[in-house]
Amino acid sequence: MARLLTLCLCAMITLASTPVEAQNKKGAKRRPVAKKKTDAKTPKLPPLKTPADKQKFLAAIRDSMPVRRAGSNLRYTSSDLDRSLEYRVGRDRSFARLIDDERFVRRVHFDLVGRPPLAKEVRDFVADDTSSKRPRLIDRLLTTDAYARKWARYWKNVIFFEATANRNRTNPKALEDWLAAEFKKGTSWDAIVAELVSAMPIRDKKKKDQKDDWSQKTGPNNFVLAFENKPPLLAAQTARLFMGISIQCAECHDHPFDSWKREQFHELAAFFSRGKYYMPSLEASSKKTEMTPKFLLGEQPPITLTTHQRRVAIAAYLVYNQDNYWFARSFVNRIWNELIGDGFYAVDSLGPDQECLHPSVVNRIAAVFRYRKFDPKWVFRLLMNSRAYQRDIQTIDRDEELFTAVRPIRLNSDQVKASVLRLTGADRGISQAVDREFRQDPSVPQRDLEGTIQQALFLMNNPALQNKLKTGKLTKRLLTIKQPRLLLTQLYLAVLARRPTDSEFTRGLKHLRDVTNRTEAVEDLLWVLVNSTEFLTKR
């Protein structure tokens, strides 16, 4: 990898030198070549400040990778995934059955566009009798703006949940908007991460009293600004978010559970320094050791680089180093964790000495993801068209049972908000309350997430929410329906995106008969569904 980086840097130097060496033809004729001055300045490497410069530099490295060319024609389908996974899990295990169309359409909408499907979308999908309707639905949703926005918001939340910076010095919305535009364009994951890691915001002192003094309106700058542009924080978060490994402990001492050394942490941090970088001594605070930028796997820039160039270099080592299997595997594991409810390893908890479940499976997916030019949509198609994704939900207690079913997954605040506002209509107060009560760390495994009393009380008796439910369009529409069975069907489709079961029909019809005030009966049924576990679960 160091040789590849050297070749690319030399190529960039050659390009930069062309204007100096290409003298005008008239002057060249008057002066023989032998008499050319030899004290001309050595051409400098381009500063690589613009996104176009950086992407050109990164593309040169990416396209020089022989392993990518060799594997570019590899195919790995959802059926291949299921066969290999079921073999590893064990065919003698009891696998959950596949979900029906109503559950599938709801699950896919929450996962790809962050909202429940409309009643019409459910009915149309169920009525479609073609065998290709599930892959077609996935493909269609992957082309929508809602898909781009949903996953842009996810990564924004991942980055900012542990952000340490003063929010007056960051602009999370700008980051989300930029990510949404990139996902919409179909930008590859490597290009997105390289732009984030190599961002180099510089403060404009003339704007010190303004909100954009660090150019935080420029989306990618906010990854760096979220962690105060501090080398140790950026080193730790780059490894955590984009390699899935935790090295923060190594800032002060050798990692207690992994083989990372303290020197490795500070060599990585040196890439993000604006000048020379020093590792403080543990014995005496006044003593410091200058550290040379070096990637975690040992690679280091072959020549002296400027601050901007070092950040592009670390992005290149992170994304295109053939030995850095963590980059591709981390993305695959995060997406798998979001869709299935369990990862091959705990998010952000992989290291050289940490356990990974079924490594041959996740490594194969990650390898083909790299060969497919880091296309995020390929990962979604692979996983969502598999039996592993389309299985019913079950509580999973032992690691041996992982991937025999989908773990019950709690909806995040954005998904809960989309479900609630579908019933109440737009309401800023309710929206902010949902964000506050249902906020959760996107990096925490599902098995460790629990509901709170505040969340339950909000859905049960929040005055604004209850008033909106009683006076909303859904309640008014339901009250105009004379046939009880049709009323119940419309109610369940609107709230839970499915039709009621036979037993739910029986109980609902009885309640409508027993309660003489029809308005109260409908409000009761709506309240029960909104406060059901199913309303907050991606079933």
Q: Token pair for residue 303? A: 């020549």
- Over 60: is that where the pLDDT of 212 sits? yes
Per the prediction, the chain carries an average pLDDT of 85
Which residue would you say has higher pLDDT here, 401 or 49?
401
Residues sharing a CB contact under 8 Å with residue 71, sequence separation 6 or more, in sequence order:
367, 368, 370, 371
DSSP assignment of 38-69, as one string?
Answer: S-PPPPPPP---SHHHHHHHHHHHHHT-HHHH
CA distances from 39 to 24, 29, 35, 36, 42 (A): 19, 20, 12, 9, 9
Q: Token pair for residue 160? A: 């900012």
- Over 90: is that where the pLDDT of 377 sits? yes
What span, in angstroms and rounded, lies between the C-alpha atoms of 102 and 408?
Answer: 17
Residues sharing a CB contact under 8 Å with residue 139, sequence separation 6 or more, in sequence order:
381
- Over 50: is that where the pLDDT of 268 sits? yes
User: Average of pLDDT values for 51-58?
Assistant: 75
Top mean pLDDT of 159-163, 271-275, 500-504 is at 500-504
Q: Residue 277 forms beta bridges with which residues?
A: 291
Of 175, 178, 171, the residue nearest 156 (C-alpha): 175
Q: Token pair for residue 301? A: 């820039």
Which residue would you say has higher pLDDT here, 97 or 71?
97
Residues 182, 187, 193, 196, CA torsion sign: negative
- Over 90: is that where the pLDDT of 57 sits? no
What span, in angstroms and rounded, lies between the C-alpha atoms of 307 and 229?
Answer: 12
Of 146, 152, 143, the residue nearest 174 (C-alpha): 152
Cβ 98 vs Cβ 387: under 8 Å: yes
Ranking 56-60, 67-71, 411-415, 465-469 by mean pLDDT, the lowest is 67-71
CA distances from 40 to 12, 37, 46, 508 (A): 18, 7, 17, 89
Question: For position 301, what pLDDT does the model report?
Answer: 82
- Over 80: is that where the pLDDT of 38 sits? no
- Over 80: is that where the pLDDT of 82 sits? yes
Q: At 136, which helix (H) or strand (E)? A: helix 133-142
- Over 80: is that where the pLDDT of 302 sits? no
What span, in angstroms and rounded, lies between the C-alpha atoms of 15 and 220?
Answer: 27
Cβ 392 vs Cβ 99: under 8 Å: yes
Which pLDDT tens digit goes with each residue over 139-188? 999 999 999 999 999 999 999 998 888 888 899 999 999 999 999 999 99
Question: For position 30, what pLDDT does the model report?
Answer: 43
Of 193, 3, 111, 168, the residue nearest 390 (C-alpha): 111
Question: For position 430, what pLDDT does the model report?
Answer: 94
Question: For position 34, what pLDDT does the model report?
Answer: 45
Cβ 11 vs Cβ 46: under 8 Å: no
Cβ 404 vs Cβ 82: under 8 Å: no
- Over 90: is that where the pLDDT of 210 sits? no
What span, in angstroms and rounded, lies between the C-alpha atoms of 249 and 133?
Answer: 48
Q: At 413, which helix (H) or strand (E)? A: helix 413-424
Question: For position 396, what pLDDT does the model report?
Answer: 87
- The pair phi, psi for residue 245, each rounded to 5°, is -125, 150
CA distances from 215 to 174, 175, 194, 210, 354 (A): 10, 12, 18, 10, 39
Percent of the chain with pLDDT over 70: 85
Question: For position 61, what pLDDT does the model report?
Answer: 67
Would you say how long the chain is, in residues?
539
Helix (H, G, I), strand (E, B) or coil at 239: helix
Tell me how far apart the terminal alpha carbons of the chain are, to the nearest angstrom.
45
Question: For position 283, what pLDDT does the model report?
Answer: 75
Which pLDDT tens digit goes with each residue over 399-437? 888 899 999 999 999 999 999 999 999 999 999 999 999
Q: What is the 8-class DSSP label of residue 365?
A: H
Helix (H, G, I), strand (E, B) or coil at 229: coil
Q: Locate tokens 């969502």: which residue?
A: 384
Question: For position 262, what pLDDT does the model report?
Answer: 85
Ranking 152-156, 255-259, 297-301, 302-306 by mean pLDDT, the lowest is 255-259
Question: For position 71, what pLDDT does the model report?
Answer: 56
User: Average of pLDDT values for 97-111?
Assistant: 97
Ranking 83-87, 276-280, 328-332, 354-358 by mean pLDDT, the lowest is 354-358
Helix (H, G, I), strand (E, B) or coil at 392: coil
pTM, whole model, 2 decimals?
A: 0.88
